[in-house]
């Protein structure tokens, strides 16, 4: 066990060193940034360190090594997403405090098979109702926690919901295939894993908390309802979902108006915010230092080499999966163009494979929705890894078939 831990700690360092050697040293800012990014990504995937700590150390190293200024090294905290997570963590705490989550959880069927089906269906439905990934994760986590669903089912629900982002997969046919795929992957992993695990959450909680304080529950219900409504109508009012999330959380802790009593200690998990902020900071660092160009070039070269032995669509998909480990941003048009050119795939097919690769995720840092869900509920990294592996396997088949 000790040997495994040592290996998991040493591997990210070895990979970072290898990147530096391959790049020829630390002369350029982009080289340093890429080495630190390699350490961060591999540590997030395999290291026993807490992911928030990995993020903090990585951002600090980006600044301390001179790869970027501190404003870029911690640039993710200057974006609204970590603060939306902060707000939603407060709102989730308020919902749990009031018992609203338990009331919502009662709506889910108790039988294991039906619960799995309903959760996946809810995730699917939310994908068309709520455009924000973090919004979908909030609803699923709330219901799953209230119902005391097992951890794998929470993971599967959140995974399915976040894999079906409207702007990720442009063609409708591809979206339908992808929806079937991720639902299947989610269901397979959830069913297989839940057999091995006891139900998470307190199943007796609902009987004691529901209705215990109706005024508080009403306040929470109104706030949560208004928040979901605001998310669902984003295309009308154009208020960013992150703004809605932060505002909802801040209203939740207002005296008189909010469902959290003023005397109640309020401490949303700070490490969730830090992980989300540092993961976003990585994108800023890669862009500011010019390291993203190195990654695109490496990805194009890899895709070109893979396209010689594999179908071009699969080469694009696999390359995209690895690319998105470093750059968890689906809107990477430059990279897509470079890889499409390298594989010789037509733009529409390349876009389908690329969109699928962006939604094939393995670790918490790859989506703020995962970070949120892991903070409020028992979403475990190993479940995400399995979901990612299942999606990768099925995704390869779908890409091949397309």
Residue 289 makes CB contacts below 8 A (sequence gap 6+) with 29, 30, 32, 33, 34, 62, 67, 68, 72
- The CB-of-57 to another protein minimum distance in angstroms stands at 6
The one segment of 17-25, 50-58, 176-184, 195-203 that binds another protein by CB under 8 A: 50-58
Using the rule CB under 8 A, which residue among 15, 60, 311, 402 binds another protein?
60
- The CB-of-81 to another protein minimum distance in angstroms stands at 10
Using the rule CB under 8 A, which residue among 27, 263, 308, 333 binds another protein?
263
In the block, tokens 């591999």 appear at 42
Coil, strand or helix at 69: coil
Contact status: 266 vs another protein (CB under 8 A)? yes
HSE (side-chain half, CA atoms, 13 Å) at 388: 23
Binders of another protein among residues 240 to 259 (CB under 8 A) are 243, 246-247, 250, 253-257
Using the rule CB under 8 A, which residue among 41, 169, 269, 364 binds another protein?
269
Residue 247 or residue 387: which is nearer to another protein going by CB?
247
In the block, tokens 């993971």 appear at 155
Q: What are phi and psi of 167, to 5 degrees?
A: -90, 5
Contact status: 48 vs another protein (CB under 8 A)? yes
The one segment of 47-55, 141-149, 359-367, 383-391 that binds another protein by CB under 8 A: 47-55
Using the rule CB under 8 A, which residue among 46, 184, 261, 389 binds another protein?
261
- The CB-of-242 to another protein minimum distance in angstroms stands at 8
Contact status: 238 vs another protein (CB under 8 A)? no
Using the rule CB under 8 A, which residue among 53, 191, 287, 293 binds another protein?
53
Q: Which helix (H) or strand (E) holds 3?
A: helix 2-23
Using the rule CB under 8 A, which residue among 41, 56, 92, 224 binds another protein?
56
Question: How many Å apart are CA 184 and CA 159, to the nearest integer?
Answer: 11
In the chain, count H helices and then E strands.
21, 0
User: How far is residue 1 CA from its own chain's centroid?
Assistant: 29
- The CB-of-182 to another protein minimum distance in angstroms stands at 30
Coil, strand or helix at 343: helix
Site string for another protein, 186-225 (x = CB under 8 A): ----------------------------------------
Question: How many Å apart are CA 317 and CA 352, to the nearest integer?
Answer: 9
- The CB-of-5 to another protein minimum distance in angstroms stands at 9
Burial class from Cβ neighbours inside 10 Å (0-12, 13-18, 19+) for residue 117 reads: middle
Question: How many Å apart are CA 102 and CA 202, to the nearest integer?
Answer: 10
Question: How many Å apart are CA 330 and CA 169, to the nearest integer?
Answer: 10
Buried b vs exposed e over 248-276: b needs ≥16 C-beta within 10 Å? bbebbbeeeebbbeeeeebebbebbbbbb
How far lies 7's CA from each of 10, 19, 34, in Å?
5, 18, 21
Contact status: 71 vs another protein (CB under 8 A)? yes
Contact status: 57 vs another protein (CB under 8 A)? yes
As a whole number of angstroms, the longest Cα–Cα distance in the chain is 66
Residue 189 or residue 217: which is nearer to another protein going by CB?
217
The one segment of 36-44, 74-82, 152-160, 166-174 that binds another protein by CB under 8 A: 74-82
Using the rule CB under 8 A, which residue among 18, 21, 70, 305 binds another protein?
70
Binders of another protein among residues 128 to 167 (CB under 8 A) are none
Using the rule CB under 8 A, which residue among 23, 46, 80, 302 binds another protein?
80
Name the site residues for another protein (rule: CB under 8 A): 48-50, 52-53, 56-57, 60, 63-64, 70-71, 74-75, 77-80, 83, 86, 239, 243, 246-247, 250, 253-257, 261-267, 269-271, 273, 277
């Amino acid at each position: 066990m000790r040997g495994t831990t040592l290996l998991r700690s040493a591997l990210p360092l070895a990979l970072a060193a290898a990147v530096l050697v391959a790049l020829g040293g630390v002369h350029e800012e982009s080289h340093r940034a890429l080495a630190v990014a390699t350490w961060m990504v591999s540590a997030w995937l395999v290291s026993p360190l807490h992911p928030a700590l990995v993020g903090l150390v990585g951002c600090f190293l980006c600044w301390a090594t001179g790869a970027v200024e501190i404003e870029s090294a911690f640039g993710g905290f200057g974006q609204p997403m970590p603060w939306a997570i902060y707000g939603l963590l407060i709102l989730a705490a308020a919902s749990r405090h009031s018992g609203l989550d338990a009331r919502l959880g009662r709506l889910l069927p108790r039988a294991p098979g039906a619960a799995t089906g309903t959760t996946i269906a809810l995730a699917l439905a939310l994908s068309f109702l709520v455009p924000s990934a973090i919004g979908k994760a909030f609803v699923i986590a709330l219901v799953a926690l209230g119902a005391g669903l097992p951890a794998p089912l929470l993971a599967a629900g959140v995974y399915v919901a976040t894999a079906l982002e409207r702007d990720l997969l442009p063609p409708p046919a591809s979206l339908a295939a992808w929806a079937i795929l991720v639902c299947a992957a989610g269901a397979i992993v959830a069913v297989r894993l839940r057999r091995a695990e006891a139900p998470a959450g307190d199943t007796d909680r609902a009987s004691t908390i529901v209705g215990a304080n109706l005024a508080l529950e009403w306040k929470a219900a109104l706030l949560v309802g208004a928040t979901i409504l605001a998310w669902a109508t984003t295309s009308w009012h154009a208020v960013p979902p992150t703004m809605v999330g932060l505002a909802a959380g801040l209203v939740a802790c207002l005296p008189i108006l909010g469902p959290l009593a003023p005397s109640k200690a309020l401490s949303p998990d700070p490490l969730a915010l830090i992980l989300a902020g540092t993961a976003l900071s990585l994108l800023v660092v890669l862009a500011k230092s010019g390291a993203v160009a190195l990654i695109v070039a490496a990805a194009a070269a890899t895709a070109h080499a893979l396209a010689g032995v594999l179908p071009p669509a699969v080469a694009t998909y696999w390359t995209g999966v690895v690319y998105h480990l470093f750059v968890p941003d689906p809107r990477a048009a430059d990279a897509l163009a470079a890889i499409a050119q390298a594989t010789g795939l037509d733009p529409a097919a390349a876009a389908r494979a690329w969109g699928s690769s962006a939604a094939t995720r393995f670790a918490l840092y790859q989506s703020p929705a995962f970070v949120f869900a892991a903070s409020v509920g028992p979403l475990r990294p190993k479940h995400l890894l399995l979901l990612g592996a299942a999606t990768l396997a099925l995704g390869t088949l779908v890409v091949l078939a397309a």
